[in-house]
Amino acid sequence: MQINRDLVWTGKFNFETFERLTKKKGHTPRNQAILDQILARAKEGDFSGLTNGTCEIIHPWLDSCTYVEVERFVSVFTWMFPVCGALHVIPMILFKRGQFMKEPLIMLLRSLKGTVRSSTFLSVFVFIYQSLLCLKNQVHAAEWSKSNLPPKVRQALVGRASFWALAFSVGLSLFVEEPRRRAELAMYVLPRGLESAWSIMRGKGYVPFIPFGDAVLSASAMGMVMATYQNDPEHLSGLVRRVLYQFIGPN
Q: Domain map of the chain by residue range?
A: 1-63, 70-170
pLDDT of residue 130: 93
167-200: pLDDT as tens digits: 889 989 989 988 888 877 887 788 888 888 888 8
End-to-end CA distance of the chain: 48
What's the average model confidence in pLDDT over 116-124?
93
Residue 251 has pLDDT above 70, yes or no: no
Q: Kindly indicate the confidence band of residue 68, based on its pLDDT and cuts at 50, 70 and 90.
A: very high
Question: What contacts 201, CB < 8 A, 6 or more positions away?
Answer: 207
Report the C-alpha gap between 78 and 76 in whole angstroms. 6
Helix 151-158 vs helix 104-141: crossing angle, to nearest 10: 140
pTM of the model: 0.78
Residue 46 has pLDDT above 90, yes or no: no
Residue 181 main-chain phi, psi, to 5 deg: -95, -10
Report the C-alpha gap between 92 and 99 in whole angstroms. 9
CB of 64 closer than 8 Å to CB of 14: no
Report the C-alpha gap between 206 and 208 in whole angstroms. 7
E strands, the chain, are: none
The DSSP symbol for 169 reads H
Give the whole-number percent of the chain exceeding pLDDT 90: 21
3-state helix, strand, coil in the chain (%, to 5): 80, 0, 20
Residue 213 main-chain phi, psi, to 5 deg: -60, -35
Residue 223 CB-half CA count within 13 A: 6
pLDDT of residue 217: 81
CB of 239 closer than 8 Å to CB of 91: yes
Top mean pLDDT of 10-14, 225-229, 234-238, 247-251 is at: 225-229
